[in-house]
Amino acid sequence: MSGHHQIWLCLLALTVAALSMAPLELQRRIVNQALDKADLEHLLFLGGLFLAVVVLSGLLKFTLRMYQGWISESAIRYGRGHLLRLYREKPHEDNHESGRAVSIISAEMDKLGSFVGEGLSQPVANLGMLVAILGYMLVVEPLVALLGAVLLVPQALLVPVAQRRINRLIERRLETMRDLSDVIGEDARDAGAEAKIDRLYGNRMKTFLVKFAMKGLINLMNGLAPLGVLIFGGIMVIRDETSVGVIVAFISGFERMGNPLRELLNYYRVAAQATVQHRMIARWM
């Protein structure tokens, strides 16, 4: 259904990633060439190029998001129709199965299908941006780039540990939601419904605790890379070992890396959740 569309999405994502290097180089040239030499004409020329790159990048990102959204909604529509046909073909002796079917076909299929549109192109775009920006910085000033990259490494080690805990909570929540749908489908006055609602509440609070603690640590570590560049790079500028333009570009570069890095970490979370949901839907089928 989305095979050849995924190829076009990935090509579009790579184009977006490649453009992410241009603003950094333009910033470096504006500081080192136009401002340092007080060349107004060159400054306006570089500023115009910067604006053109920003507009083009924005249009490409908009196109990418719309394309991803279309594929996701198409997958959701197809998946719901397929599950509905399977449900109609199965024999049903009571209302127990109907409540669970409603939960799966409506809420669970919506989340799983939403992953289809960005399942391949989103990591390509974000990884491409990280590689492009870090590669540019390694070429321009390897020592400063390596220092900043090392300060980002702990995030890659922290996320899988926290995500495994979140995955277990997600699986328990989905199972509890299905059980609640079954109970309500049979008899909404059943006392077991309130116990399951309380269980869902506790599950959500535990998930929030793990997720927000992880985000807080990630935000802290995101701030360390620009700080390291500012201090270490500042020392190099004082010693005339590099230029101010390089440091300005690098600080901007690490700030730009923050967004694709956050999206990659979010992608890891969504992919893990989609895997859990797919496994549980397949089990129901």
Instruction: Look up the CATH number of the domain holding residue 129.
Output: 1.20.1560.10
Least confident range of 68-72, 126-130, 219-223: 219-223
Give residue 9's pLDDT: 87
Contact 266, 258 (CB under 8 A): no
Domain that holds residue 78: 3-284
Give residue 60's pLDDT: 93
H/E/C letters for each residue in the chain? Answer: CCHHHHHHHHHHHHHHHHHCCHHHHHHHHHHHHHHCCCCHHHHHHHHHHHHHHHHHHHHHHHHHHHHHHHHHHHHHHHHHHHHHHHHHHCCCCCCHHHHHHHHHHHHHHHHHHHHHHHCCHHHHHHHHHHHHHHHHHHHHCHHHHHHHHHHHHHHHHHHHHHHHHHHHHHHHHHHHHHHHHHHHHHCCCCCHHHHHHHHHHHHHHHHHHHHHHHHHHHHHHHHHHHHHHHHHHHHHHHCCCCCHHHHHHHHHHHHHHHHHHHHHHHHHHHHHHHHHHHHHHHHHC
Mean pLDDT of the chain: 78
How confident is residue 63, by pLDDT bands cut at 50, 70 and 90? very high
Is pLDDT at 52 greater than 90 in this prediction? yes
Q: What are the pLDDT digits (tens) for 173-228?
A: 877 877 776 666 565 555 567 777 888 888 888 888 888 887 787 777 777 777 77
User: Averaged over 82-89, what is the pLDDT?
Assistant: 73
- Rounded distance, CA 130 to CA 253, Å? 9
> What does pTM read for this prediction?
0.67
How confident is residue 140, by pLDDT bands cut at 50, 70 and 90? confident
Instruction: Specify the number of domains making up the chain.
Output: 1
Q: What are the pLDDT digits (tens) for 228-263?
A: 777 887 888 888 877 787 788 778 787 777 778 777
Closest by alpha carbon to 131, among 14, 5, 23, 7?
14
